[in-house]
């Protein structure tokens, strides 16, 4: 292939983003194109079908399935209250009558003359869909939702857990290479999006949940602590609904890795400002990255940078992050892009590049093991 | 009579890469001559699979010097130095075909439905059965949660009970399942159960799903009839699933044979090879997210997909399913547990990275061993004789407790193991691929081992539906890289005690006469295409398939590695003590020249 590199994570001082918000099943869209919305504005709503309950009427009445309709007191579409008689027999002596009460309040969905079962459905549950970001509605999708455009700063992480959250940004560490510790997590950080430095250990994660932070953004955590946090060992990187008490976003990966200076500096600039974030991650089939979005409220700051288009490939001078041992997490620049394949210590011959480290050393790494720093 | 073809073009549209190969007739034999590849273009911004196909074909055009494209059209037929006589393709783009299956009895019709779907190339997301332990509302909730591309409903032998399969139809209707692709198209559902239930199933489901009825996959308990349903799955796959995926309608008009799901095509070429050569074969394809295992034993083909075992996207799941001790036992250096866990999770979130250090290579190959082992275990459980059938039993059968549902996979009987997928096909040293498969599968007796050179099995599988000879010629000459033959006696000898004595008549006239002790592994180089006649004498208590202590004479075929004599024991138990275990791993690695010094 002509080019093979790992696309990078975005860390943009100013960008125009669009976020498509859609309901899981058809519903009602409540906004129009041009409307200004806040992150908590309800843009669409629907009703999720209620849970289904099965009642084996024929077993309870001792009849055959073909006879069921003769004994039913309610039919398809009828609403029933919990305890109400769904079906009953009519013996000569009323003393021996058997009634089948409805186990729930709901609607009779079907009566089967083959299986002898009755399906009852609970009332539908309302579902509201929030805008997630402050911005403007640029598109509505009839029956489904809307697309919101926002002018913002964006920080993408490599992995996250937990869903969407909103709050003010607060700095928990003094620098990108400092660990976030329980001692630094005072109660005043409750309700905030807390930005750490390099690392948070298990005790810090527990403290975060305890004081009620909305989100924690750090360079890395240990995989073992993630298992403790989730209550299970994560097998596949598809997240976003974990009930861990807050949203977690890792900017670098697993282990003790300094947050990239640029990422730390950008978030520190927005200390005290309202932001929203999402821990949802999906590594394949439509990649989703966890993110922190800080909407711009005024006209300050740099001009918006459009999302990077399809890149033509790496070039000398490009800033990169090395993302595999023995240089995991190290920031570098592309020094050279040899055409010929290079042999690496495993003896594989692969496409390589030469990268210049911060101390001036030049090393050879597989092109597959670098990440572009996108703006 | 196969068509007269001189030049064939074949593509495979994978999840990330579209690969194209050119096959040309050279005299009486077909050979793969050129290959090219390009990123698959199913997702944004392109959203048209044919773009990736054209890019891959363009690379083949440039490398071959043969004009293949006229604008955006593949030139057919071949004439002079342009065009091809046939273009075929396979696809697993968009995650492949994902199905949910349901049957009445878990070990009977539900299991048959699972085999049917897997054999058609699908990933089976869940198997529902009336007796699977889940309550009715739990089944309904599960159906609602999943977003399959297609459903297969079976159950009841013809003329038997209808109520259970009708109940399953009612659950499906209540769940109102939504398809993965395309809001607004009817989810296809194939009913392949008791024909007496058809009217009721139609009444319940015809307005909710795209219902298709076909022959019962288990018309009587003693017989599976999977072919009609498999064909239906394939037809619906093309018509619905692929047609929804961007660009496939166009691609379907280009090909000279129906597009096949990639795993179905891989299975087909393995089945063809096994049938033609009269072999018992195990094939494995270990990818980034899934591991497919294929087998052909006594002419019976089986395929399983371990949908959550793989080397990149699913690599953390290998750790979850195997457990850390099982993975760590293969790593010949003392990496701390926390470090191991972090490295694996980092690979999960950055799946396209490759190992640069030897330590990382050790870890990845350890994970591969566990993924392969677990995948074969899952395959063994599904590739079984039919359960629930009446058997004529003799007195000795009754004493032997021979039950139905025995696994068809016999590691003593297997003649050939073929490995495929990046970690096997592109290992830095071929002996690493051989040892990964040997450690994971632990074949018994004498077994040939091979790898797929560049993953062209899908191309050859779909080609075999049109021209079997061309497909097999290329498979045997260009696709398969023979690694050699493994010889592994069954039994556990005491370390250092004699295990096997052998005498090999090498093709250059030398005679190699030696012994190997229990606990050791040794390689004798023997090039591909060469054979050594061997007399193998297992020690008392060890068995090469002819009985304990009984000698065996066999022709051992060569390969990139040669003849590997594995006296480490079957089953293979690594020392529990870390120090002894690491020492053993290092000793074996040195004996095989497994890694650079």
The pair of three-digit structure tokens given for residue A108, joined into one six-digit string: 């009779």
The minimum CA-CA distance between B320 and chain A, rounded to whole Å, is 6
Asked if B314 lies within 8 A of A236 by C-beta distance, the reply is yes
Burial B296-330 (b: 16+ CB within 10 A, else e): bbeeebbbbbbbbbbbbbbbbbbbbbbeeebbbbb
Q: Which residues pair with A337 in a beta bridge?
A: none
When CB atoms are compared, the residue of A159, A222, A310 closest to B338 is A222
Cβ–Cβ < 8 Å for B488, B541? no
The pair of three-digit structure tokens given for residue B394, joined into one six-digit string: 């003799």
pLDDT for res B398: 45
Q: Which domains does chain B possess?
A: 7-93 (3.30.420.40), 96-248 (3.40.50.2300), 281-592 (no CATH)
Q: Which residues pair with B484 in a beta bridge?
A: B449, B562
Asked if A346 lies within 8 A of B428 by C-beta distance, the reply is yes
Residue B538 has phi, psi (to 5 degrees) of -70, 150
CA distances from A120 to A112, B220, B582 (A): 12, 35, 61
Given pLDDT bands bounded at 50, 70 and 90, which one contains residue B393?
Answer: very low
The pair of three-digit structure tokens given for residue A186, joined into one six-digit string: 């005072």
Helix spans in B16-151 (H): 49-64, 111-119, 136-145
pLDDT for res A309: 52
The minimum CA-CA distance between B16 and chain A, rounded to whole Å, is 9
Chain A residue with minimal CA distance to B338? A224
When CB atoms are compared, the residue of A224, A253, A366 closest to B346 is A253
The minimum CA-CA distance between B265 and chain A, rounded to whole Å, is 22
Residues in chain B with CB shorter than 8 Å from the CB of A283 are: 313, 348-349, 351
When CB atoms are compared, the residue of A237, A328, A371 closest to B348 is A237
**Distance in angstroms (rounded) separating the CA atoms of residues A292 and B397:** 67
DSSP for A167-191, please give it. EEEEE-SSSTTSEE-GGG--GGGTT
* Average confidence (pLDDT) over A71-92: 93
Query: Mutate which of B162, B349, B454 to disrupt the A interface (most A C-beta within 10 Å)?
Result: B349
**Distance in angstroms (rounded) separating the CA atoms of residues B91 and B241:** 11
Asked if A366 lies within 8 A of B314 by C-beta distance, the reply is no
Chain B residue with minimal CA distance to A310? B45
When CB atoms are compared, the residue of A49, A53, A255 closest to B342 is A255
Helix, strand, or coil (residue B131): coil
Helix, strand, or coil (residue B96): coil
Provide the 10 A C-beta neighbour count for residue A283: 24
A76 pLDDT exceeds 90?
yes
The pair of three-digit structure tokens given for residue A109, joined into one six-digit string: 């969905």
Query: Mutate which of B336, B350, B596 to disrupt the A interface (most A C-beta within 10 Å)?
Result: B350
pLDDT for res B92: 77
Residues in chain B with CB shorter than 8 Å from the CB of A325 are: 343, 356-357, 359-360
Output A47 or B392, whichever has higher pLDDT. Answer: A47
Q: Is B335 on the interface with A (CB under 8 A)?
A: no
Q: Is A238 on the interface with B (CB under 8 A)?
A: no
Number of residues assigned to chain A? 375
Output A165 or B299, whichever has higher pLDDT. Answer: A165
pLDDT for res A312: 55
By DSSP bridging, strand B445-452 and strand B480-488 are antiparallel
Q: Where are the beta strands (DSSP E) in A177-305?
A: 179-180, 192-195, 199-200, 215-221, 238-239, 247-254, 274-278, 281-282, 291-295
The minimum CA-CA distance between A222 and chain B, rounded to whole Å, is 6
pLDDT for res B300: 86
Q: Which residues pair with B548 in a beta bridge?
A: B543
Q: Which of residues 164-223 of B touch A (CB under 8 A)?
A: 166-167, 170, 173-176, 178, 183, 200
pLDDT for res A304: 56
Report helix, strand and coil shares of chain A as percent, to nearest 5.
15, 40, 45
pLDDT for res A285: 62
The minimum CA-CA distance between A300 and chain B, rounded to whole Å, is 32
**Distance in angstroms (rounded) separating the CA atoms of residues A308 and B65:** 35
**ipTM of predicted complex:** 0.89
Q: Which of residues 72-111 of B touch A (CB under 8 A)?
A: 94-95
Reported as a single tens digit per residue, the pLDDT across B452-479 is: 988 899 999 999 999 999 999 999 999 9
The pair of three-digit structure tokens given for residue B538, joined into one six-digit string: 């297992």
pLDDT for res B244: 64
Given pLDDT bands bounded at 50, 70 and 90, which one contains residue B328?
Answer: very high
B186 pLDDT exceeds 90?
no
B437 pLDDT exceeds 70?
yes
* Average confidence (pLDDT) over B178-184: 62
Query: Mutate which of B201, B316, B346, B363 to disrupt the A interface (most A C-beta within 10 Å)?
Result: B346
pLDDT for res A307: 55
Chain B residue with minimal CA distance to A235? B317
Q: Is B354 on the interface with A (CB under 8 A)?
A: yes
**Distance in angstroms (rounded) separating the CA atoms of residues A301 and A14:** 8
Q: Where are the beta strands (DSSP E) in B453-497?
A: 480-488
B389 pLDDT exceeds 80?
no
Q: Which domains does chain A possess?
A: 6-14+151-295 (3.50.30), 52-121 (2.40.50), 319-374 (2.30.30)
* Average confidence (pLDDT) over B511-516: 97
**Distance in angstroms (rounded) separating the CA atoms of residues B46 and B57:** 17
* Average confidence (pLDDT) over B86-97: 81
DSSP for B553-596, please give it. EEEEE--SSEEEEE-S-BS----SSHHHHHHHHHHHHHHHT-S-
Cβ neighbours of residue B480 closer than 8 Å, sequence gap 6 or more = B418, B450, B451, B452, B453
**Distance in angstroms (rounded) separating the CA atoms of residues B410 and B376:** 12
The minimum CA-CA distance between A345 and chain B, rounded to whole Å, is 6
**Distance in angstroms (rounded) separating the CA atoms of residues B503 and B511:** 7
**Distance in angstroms (rounded) separating the CA atoms of residues B569 and B542:** 9
Helix, strand, or coil (residue B133): coil
Reported as a single tens digit per residue, the pLDDT across B283-318 is: 999 988 889 899 999 888 888 888 779 998 889 999
Nearest to A333 by CA among A322, A344, A342, A323: A322
The pair of three-digit structure tokens given for residue B136, joined into one six-digit string: 């009715």
Given pLDDT bands bounded at 50, 70 and 90, which one contains residue B402?
Answer: very low
Q: Is A359 on the interface with B (CB under 8 A)?
A: no
B96 pLDDT exceeds 60?
yes
Helix, strand, or coil (residue B365): helix
Reported as a single tens digit per residue, the pLDDT across A17-44 is: 999 999 888 899 999 999 999 999 999 9
Helix, strand, or coil (residue B71): coil
Mean of the per-residue pLDDT values for chain A? 90
Residue B244 has phi, psi (to 5 degrees) of -80, -25
Given pLDDT bands bounded at 50, 70 and 90, which one contains residue A91?
Answer: confident
Residues in chain A with CB shorter than 8 Å from the CB of B146 are: none
Percent of chain A with pLDDT over 70: 93
Strands laid side by side in the B511-517 sheet = B511-517, B498-505, B531-538, B552-557
B373 pLDDT exceeds 70?
yes
The pair of three-digit structure tokens given for residue A246, joined into one six-digit string: 């807050």
The minimum CA-CA distance between A346 and chain B, rounded to whole Å, is 5
- Using only C-alpha atoms, chain B has a radius of gyration, in whole angstroms, of 25
Q: Is A6 on the interface with B (CB under 8 A)?
A: yes
pLDDT for res B387: 62
Query: Mutate which of A233, A307, A353 to disrupt the B interface (most B C-beta within 10 Å)?
Result: A233
Nearest to B241 by CA among B289, B185, B281, B295: B185
Q: Is A124 on the interface with B (CB under 8 A)?
A: no
Given pLDDT bands bounded at 50, 70 and 90, which one contains residue B39?
Answer: confident
**Distance in angstroms (rounded) separating the CA atoms of residues A110 and A114:** 12
Reported as a single tens digit per residue, the pLDDT across B523-568 is: 999 999 999 999 999 999 999 999 999 999 999 999 999 999 999 9
The minimum CA-CA distance between A30 and chain B, rounded to whole Å, is 21
Q: Is B313 on the interface with A (CB under 8 A)?
A: yes
Name the burial class of residue A37, with classes exposed (0-12), middle (13-18) and buried (19+) by CB atoms within 10 angstroms of its CB. buried
Reported as a single tens digit per residue, the pLDDT across B105-146 is: 988 899 999 989 988 878 888 999 998 988 888 888 888 888
Percent of chain B with pLDDT over 70: 93
pLDDT for res B118: 85
Residues in chain B with CB shorter than 8 Å from the CB of A237 are: 313, 316, 348-349
By DSSP bridging, strand A6-22 and strand A370-374 are parallel
Given pLDDT bands bounded at 50, 70 and 90, which one contains residue B56?
Answer: very high
Lowest mean pLDDT among A89-103, A193-207, B376-390: B376-390
Residue B486 has phi, psi (to 5 degrees) of -105, 135
Asked if B358 lies within 8 A of A328 by C-beta distance, the reply is no
Cβ–Cβ < 8 Å for A332, A361? no
Asked if A223 lies within 8 A of B137 by C-beta distance, the reply is no
Residues in chain A with CB shorter than 8 Å from the CB of B313 are: 236-237, 283-284
**Distance in angstroms (rounded) separating the CA atoms of residues B415 and B244:** 41
Q: Is B426 on the interface with A (CB under 8 A)?
A: yes
When CB atoms are compared, the residue of A52, A65, A237 closest to B140 is A52
Q: How many cross-chain Cβ pairs, A to B, lie less than 8 Å apart?
A: 163
Q: Would you give the distance in Å from CA B155 to the centre of its chain?
A: 27
Residue with tokens 């021996």: A96
pLDDT for res A1: 33
Residues in chain A with CB shorter than 8 Å from the CB of B314 are: 235-236
Residue B241 has phi, psi (to 5 degrees) of -70, -55
A299 pLDDT exceeds 60?
no
The minimum CA-CA distance between B360 and chain A, rounded to whole Å, is 8
DSSP for B304-352, please give it. EEETT--SSTTHHHHHHHH-HHHHHTT-SS---HHHHHHHHHHHHHSTT
**Distance in angstroms (rounded) separating the CA atoms of residues B481 and B456:** 12
* DSSP conformational letter for A240: S
């Amino acid at each position: 292939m002509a080019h093979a590199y790992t696309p990078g994570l975005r860390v943009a001082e100013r960008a125009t983003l669009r976020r498509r918000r859609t309901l899981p099943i058809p519903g009602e869209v409540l906004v129009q194109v041009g409307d200004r919305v806040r992150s908590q504005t309800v843009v669409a709503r629907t009703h999720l079908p209620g849970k289904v309950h099965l009642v084996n009427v024929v077993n309870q009445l001792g009849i055959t399935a073909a006879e069921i309709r003769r004994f039913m007191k309610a039919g398809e579409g009828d609403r029933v209250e919990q305890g109400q008689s769904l079906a009953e027999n009519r013996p000569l002596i009323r003393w021996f009558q058997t009634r089948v009460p409805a186990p729930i309040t709901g609607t009779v969905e079907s009566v089967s003359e083959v299986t002898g079962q009755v399906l009852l459905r609970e009332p539908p549950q309302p579902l509201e869909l929030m805008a997630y970001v402050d911005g403007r509605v640029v598109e509505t999708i009839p029956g489904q939702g809307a697309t919101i455009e926002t002018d913002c700063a964006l920080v993408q992480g490599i992995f996250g857990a937990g869903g969407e959250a909103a709050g003010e940004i607060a700095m928990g560490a003094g620098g990108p290479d400092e660990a976030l510790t329980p001692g630094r997590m005072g109660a005043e950080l409750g309700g905030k999006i807390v930005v750490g430095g390099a690392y948070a250990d298990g005790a810090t994660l527990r403290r975060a949940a305890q004081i009620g932070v909305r989100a924690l953004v750090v360079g890395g955590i240990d995989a073992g602590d993630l298992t403790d946090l989730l209550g299970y060992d994560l097998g596949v990187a598809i997240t976003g609904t974990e009930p861990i008490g807050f949203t977690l976003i890792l900017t670098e990966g697993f282990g003790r890795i300094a947050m990239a200076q640029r990422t730390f500096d950008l978030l520190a600039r927005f200390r005290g400002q309202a932001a929203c974030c999402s821990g949802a991650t999906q590594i394949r089939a439509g990649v989703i990255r966890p993110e922190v979005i800080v909407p711009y409220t005024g006209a300050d700051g740099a001009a918006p940078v459009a999302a990077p288009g399809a890149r033509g490939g790496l070039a000398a001078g490009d800033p990169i992050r090395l993302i595999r041992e023995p240089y995991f997490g190290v920031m570098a620049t592309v020094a050279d892009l040899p055409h010929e394949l290079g042999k690496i210590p495993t003896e594989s011959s692969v496409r390589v590049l030469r990268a210049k480290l911060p101390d001036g050393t030049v090393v050879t790494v597989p092109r597959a093991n670098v990440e572009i720093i996108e703006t | 009579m196969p068509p007269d073809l001189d030049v064939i073009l074949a593509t495979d549209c994978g999840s990330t890469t579209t690969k194209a190969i050119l096959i040309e007739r050279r005299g009486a034999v077909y050979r793969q001559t050129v290959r090219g590849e390009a990123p698959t273009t199913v997702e944004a911004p392109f959203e048209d699979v044919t773009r990736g196909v054209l890019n891959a074909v363009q690379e083949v055009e440039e490398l071959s010097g043969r004009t293949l494209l006229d604008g955006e059209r593949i030139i057919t037929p071949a004439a002079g130095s342009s065009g091809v006589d046939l273009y075929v393709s396979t696809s697993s783009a968009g995650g492949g075909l994902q199905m949910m299956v349901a049957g009445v009895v878990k070990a009977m019709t539900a299991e048959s439905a699972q085999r049917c779907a897997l054999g058609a190339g699908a990933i089976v997301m869940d198997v529902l059965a009336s007796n699977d332990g889940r309550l009715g509302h739990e089944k309904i909730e599960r159906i609602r949660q999943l977003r399959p591309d297609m459903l297969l409903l079976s159950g009841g032998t013809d003329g038997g009970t209808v109520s259970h399969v009708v109940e399953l139809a009612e659950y499906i209707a209540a769940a109102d399942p939504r398809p993965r692709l395309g809001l607004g198209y009817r989810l296809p559902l194939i009913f392949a159960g008791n024909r007496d239930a058809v009217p009721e199933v139609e009444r319940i489901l015809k307005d909710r799903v795209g219902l298709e009825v076909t022959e019962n996959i288990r018309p009587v308990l003693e017989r599976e009839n999977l072919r009609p349903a498999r064909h239906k799955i394939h037809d619906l796959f093309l018509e619905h699933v692929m047609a929804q995926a961007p660009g496939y309608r166009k691609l379907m008009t280009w090909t000279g044979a129906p597009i096949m799901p990639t795993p179905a095509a891989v299975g087909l070429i393995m089945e063809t090879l096994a049938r033609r050569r009269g072999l018992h074969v195990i094939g494995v394809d270990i990818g980034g997210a899934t591991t497919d295992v294929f087998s052909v034993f006594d002419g019976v083909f089986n395929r399983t997909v371990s949908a959550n075992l793989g080397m990149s996207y699913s690599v953390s799941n290998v750790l979850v399913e195997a457990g850390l001790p099982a993975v760590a036992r293969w790593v010949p250096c003392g990496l701390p547990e926390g470090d191991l866990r972090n490295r694996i999770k980092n690979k999960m979130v950055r799946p396209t990275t490759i190992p640069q250090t030897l330590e990382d290579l050790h870890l990845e190959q350890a994970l591969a061993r566990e993924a392969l082992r677990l995948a074969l275990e899952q395959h063994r459980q599904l590739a079984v004789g039919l359960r629930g059938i009446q058997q004529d039993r003799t007195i000795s059968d009754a004493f032997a407790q021979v039950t139905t549902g025995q696994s068809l996979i016999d590691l003593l009987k297997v003649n050939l193991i073929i490995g495929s997928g990046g970690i096997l096909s592109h290992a830095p040293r071929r002996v690493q691929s051989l040892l990964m498969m040997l450690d994971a599968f632990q074949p018994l007796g004498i077994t040939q081992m091979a790898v797929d050179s560049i993953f062209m099995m899908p191309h050859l599988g779909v080609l075999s539906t049109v021209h079997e000879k061309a497909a097999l010629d290329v498979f045997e000459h260009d696709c398969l890289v023979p690694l050699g033959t493994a010889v592994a006696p069954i039994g556990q000898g005491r370390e250092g005690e004699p295990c096997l004595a052998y005498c090999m008549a090498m093709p250059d006239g030398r005679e190699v006469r030696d012994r190997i002790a229990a606990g050791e592994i040794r390689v004798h180089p023997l090039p591909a295409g060469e054979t050594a006649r061997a007399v193998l004498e297992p020690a008392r208590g060890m068995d090469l398939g002819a009985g304990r202590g009984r000698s065996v004479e066999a022709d051992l075929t060569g390969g990139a590695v040669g003849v590997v004599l594995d006296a480490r024991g079957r089953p293979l138990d690594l020392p529990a003590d870390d120090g002894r275990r690491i020492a053993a791993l290092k000793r074996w690695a040195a004996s095989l020249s497994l890694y650079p010094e």
